[in-house]
Chains A and B, each alone.
Chain A
């Protein structure tokens, strides 16, 4: 029974992967992402320090890890917007519902499909640390932690994107909703000053940025990992509930 469910989730994930990688769109998207990362790392001044990579004279990818979460806010909703919204619009979701898969398996399959896309995107950036590593002694531990942080953050963005995609049959609406929610949770710590002082700690604890900053320092803290996983689980549960809503709507 369990293996059947896993097989279903795997098949759905592969199907989603096929959608991405059997057309040039995924390669063009990832290539653009790589170009932006490379240009920002080596050719542009840091937003915070105002200095270039070579002026900083430090073999570190912190500058890149600071900007990728922002780029992800634009890219990941684009990956997720079609996951359910397009199926709803074209009616293929009804076909999916007739198949021997549960709503949870559908949500998980699509989520893991997106996650695989995210993993490939991150793997494609490996030439950047390799180049930096040839220039100086790179702290591999901090690098691994940074990638793990990006993966967890990306997973949370993906779950949010999938959730937004389950709410509508319009891809543009799904994209905008997902981007807005991701941006809200990423920048929530910056909004602290405009809200009631008593909620500061709570809002700061909900900030994607704060938890991500901890991980990119090289520390894997179970609190940060639990935070991201909780976010993924909550978003996936909402997605499943949204799919199940067809039964009573």
Chain B
């Protein structure tokens, strides 16, 4: 009986527990389907912003396909070298949540499909890049094949497509998705106007792709790891030659469509740079294919073998290259490009492929002047180093961050797809026509971003002998002048030219320490010193998304801006100096760290020294206090006047004919007239925006003109040896550039967010600036002074808990005494 009761009781208990668990599980499953979210953060950083909502609502009929490998690994190696592994746990759910939020906003206008089968393969087909986890399987060859995963989304709207792959950072999901939705809208709208170009490109791409597939199928590679191995296997090579020879007619017929497609694309030459490239690659493919057939069918068996192994590889490589070019064409409609102005000695992040000395005359020169046999290769090496550096900056600083940048020569027409121009640190002047181009670009509704370069600061510079100038007296402060300031003044932003010094809020400068050895001075290690000419600005206009998410901006060797709004225009100061800031135009300012604000004793000492030797010690530099916090970054918008209003438009320079380019076609009268109307001078205009930053962020110009300043081909044509001095100067210029950048490059990292914001803002992607600001809302501490820490720590660690303890103990004692009284 007792046993039965026990069993029944246990059964009941188990049943209740199981039922409760089942109910809990069901409630949670239902809750996962029907849920609500409230974002309590101040700027609603976790839920979709208005910009994102508008972006998705604008795309009625949007199709979203979500690719999430299931299961994802719990962590993967970081894509950035040297970083800890990325935790991927829960990323799939986070991506789903974000997509569902977009779906909830757009409602029936958006279709979301979660790809469930063959996710990796399907993802690859949809152009998603896979990533690899730590796990893998052993291959038959003894290696390890790492498991592949995909995590990303494709967006299809009308005939346009955007891909978001490697969605590994949930904190930027909204930014990345909205960025693609904005692009998608532009792309779809412009794709209609580029229908013929796209169709033509598609025909070329299809023809080449079909040909490549047929060639690969005709003689598939065995498991040979390389061509070299194939040569060692004559049987396979023979089989390949036989396969291609036997199917030549069939293959020629399949590949025959290329010529027609290329011909068709050529009829649209000049209308799209991307289509021209597609046609060029297809043409190169066809030519190499012809050459391959010629070699294969020739009488030389060795040539046939080489063609079957290496020739076909080259052909196929070119054939595969067309995929990227075609994709570039497909992505081109509606693309918003940023043009980097490369005139006026600016920092221009584009390698210059043109050699200083043309190859054709190199031999003659070195024969005449043997010293050039060593000099010219050294110069070429230097030029190559410069090109590599610029290519790295181009990729790392701009393209990798999603900015489509192009080089702009202001003497030529500015391409239509360029929405913004960036003038980065001009050290020289522009011609009237170049200024006119900038002016008309802004007045015509474009954006202009100018990073000024008011001062050239040479610290520890190298002499032409290659020796570092370690004596601070030899360090130079030179004012740069560029006539771009006249243009900016028209829009109410006048750079004062005075160098800003912040006595209290400033960053560091990294100077090299040297060891003196028998061979001279040897660089030892870089050491950072506080430097008032690298001001740190924290007086930012937090209402503006351009700087809302930014804690501070550190601008090396900056100048102040005087603001006076033009009629109809609006001016906003985005960043200001502190009230303690000083400015100077005195080039005798000592550049040694700590020497800008001499103590009273040091000044008295100097006075004594000056009395003893009036020529020996310079006076302290003249420093002016800023009247009030002065602007260092400013924006002008609204209706902006033209600098050339009431003046004749300057004439465009005559183009020098390039012997390598064919004669340009004569435009017919109607086209010329239409172009003329398009380029009619405007005296003012709305929609244009100008952002001026009083510093070049430390990016000094690295062009051929700056490093090889004064290079003259005629001067080295003789048999003189004077060129050696000149060559040393070039080397010193390059070393000095490297020196200057290294001294303040640490500040660039801190300013990258602002730089990205400025570029997004310039192409009218204000929504993205807003989103970036939303992701990282800066909440800096108002005080970080050392003295404040002790008090705060004591308050937090001791005072508050002690007060709580004392109050508690007082309550307990009071209660006990009351109880004692009651018991008595």
Residue numbers of A with Cβ under 8 A of B are 21-24, 26-28, 30-32, 34-35, 38-39, 41-43, 54, 57-60, 124, 127-128, 131, 135-142, 144-145, 189, 192-193, 197-198, 200-201, 204-205, 210, 217-223, 226-227, 230-231, 233-234, 237-238, 241, 244-245, 247-249
Contacts and interface: CB of A to CB of B under 8 A. Distances in A.
B81 interface: no
A22 B6 CA distance: 41
B169 interface: no
Given A43-B797, A142-B40, A248-B10, A222 B792 contact: no
A27 B797 contact: no
A138 B779 CA distance: 7
Nearest to A200: B71
B506 to A, nearest CB: 16
B779 A137 contact: yes
Interface string B35-58: 111111110011100000000000
Nearest to B11: A248
A238 B41 contact: no
A193 B74 contact: yes
A218 to B, nearest CB: 4
B39 A219 contact: yes
8 contacts: A27-B812, A58-B781, A131-B796, A141-B39, A142-B41, A145-B41, A237-B16, A248-B12
Pick the 3 closest A-B CB pairs, nearest first. Answer: A248-B9, A27-B808, A141-B40
B779 A58 contact: yes
A247 B9 contact: yes
Nearest to B4: A248
A203 to B, nearest CB: 10
B220 interface: no
B21 A31 contact: no
Given A22-B815, A198-B71, A227-B28, 15 more contacts: A31-B801, A32-B801, A34-B801, A34-B804, A35-B797, A58-B779, A136-B779, A141-B41, A145-B41, A192-B74, A210-B90, A223-B31, A226-B31, A230-B27, A234-B21
Contact of B800 (A32, A59, A127, A248): A127
B579 interface: no
A231 B779 CA distance: 35
Q: Specify which of B21, B28, B93, B779 lies most central, judged by the most chain A CB atoms within 10 Å of its CB.
A: B779
A219 B74 CA distance: 24
B780 interface: yes
Judged by DSSP, the binding face of A is helix
A189 to B, nearest CB: 6
A219 B46 contact: yes
Contact of B17 (A131, A204, A238): A238
A60 B779 contact: yes
Given A43-B793, A58-B781, A248-B10, A220 B805 contact: no
Contacts of B782: 135-136
A205 B25 CA distance: 11
A197 B71 contact: yes
A218 B38 CA distance: 8
Interface in B791-824: 792-793, 795-798, 800-802, 804-805, 808-809, 811-812, 815
Given A58-B781, A230-B24, A128 B796 contact: yes
Nearest to A18: B815
A173 B107 CA distance: 54
A241 B17 contact: yes
Contacts of B809: 24, 27
A136 B800 CA distance: 19
Contacts of B815: 22
Q: Specify which of A59, A128, A218, A226 lies most central, judged by the most chain B CB atoms within 10 Å of its CB.
A: A218
A135 B783 contact: yes
Contacts of A234: 17, 20-21, 24
Contacts, number: 179
A230 B20 CA distance: 9
B13 interface: yes
A33 B182 CA distance: 50
A27 B796 CA distance: 17
B543 interface: no
Interface of B: 5-6, 8-10, 12-13, 16-17, 20-21, 24, 27-28, 31-32, 35-42, 45-47, 70-71, 74-75, 89-90, 93, 551, 777-784, 789, 792-793, 795-798, 800-802, 804-805, 808-809, 811-812, 815
B779 A222 contact: no
B35 A223 contact: yes
Nearest to B87: A189
A230 B789 CA distance: 43
Contacts of A245: 9-10, 13
Contact of B89 (A26, A58, A204, A221): A204
Contact of B797 (A38, A140, A221, A230): A38
B37 A220 contact: yes
Judged by DSSP, the binding face of B is helix
A185 to B, nearest CB: 14
Contacts of A233: 20, 24
Given A24-B808, A27-B808, A142-B40, A41 B796 contact: yes
Contacts of A218: 39-41, 45-46
Contacts of A205: 28
B797 A204 contact: no
A219 to B, nearest CB: 5
A26 B808 CA distance: 9
A127 B803 CA distance: 11
B42 A141 contact: yes
A46 B538 CA distance: 25
Contacts of A145: 40-41
A141 B815 CA distance: 38
Nearest to A199: B71
A41 B795 CA distance: 12
Contact of A200 (B16, B74, B551): B74
Contacts of B9: 244-245, 247-249
Contacts of A23: 812
A133 to B, nearest CB: 10
Contacts of B793: 38, 42-43
B26 to A, nearest CB: 10
A127 B805 contact: no
A42 B796 contact: yes
A145 B42 CA distance: 12
Contact of B795 (A131, A193, A222): A131
A38 B800 contact: yes
Nearest to A43: B793
Nearest to B14: A241
Nearest to A193: B74
A3 to B, nearest CB: 26
A24 B812 contact: yes
Contacts of A220: 37-38, 40
Contacts of A27: 804-805, 808-809, 812
Contacts of B90: 189, 204, 210
B75 to A, nearest CB: 8
B289 to A, nearest CB: 47
B137 to A, nearest CB: 14
Contacts of A42: 789, 792-793, 796-797
A140 B40 CA distance: 8
Given A38-B796, A241-B16, A30 B781 contact: no
Contacts of B40: 141-142, 144-145, 218-220
A23 B16 CA distance: 38
A241 B797 contact: no
A30 B805 CA distance: 8
B93 to A, nearest CB: 8
Contact of A124 (B777, B780, B804): B804
A248 to B, nearest CB: 2
A38 B20 contact: no
Nearest to A139: B42
B784 A248 contact: no
A55 to B, nearest CB: 9
Given A38-B801, A201-B71, A58 B780 contact: yes
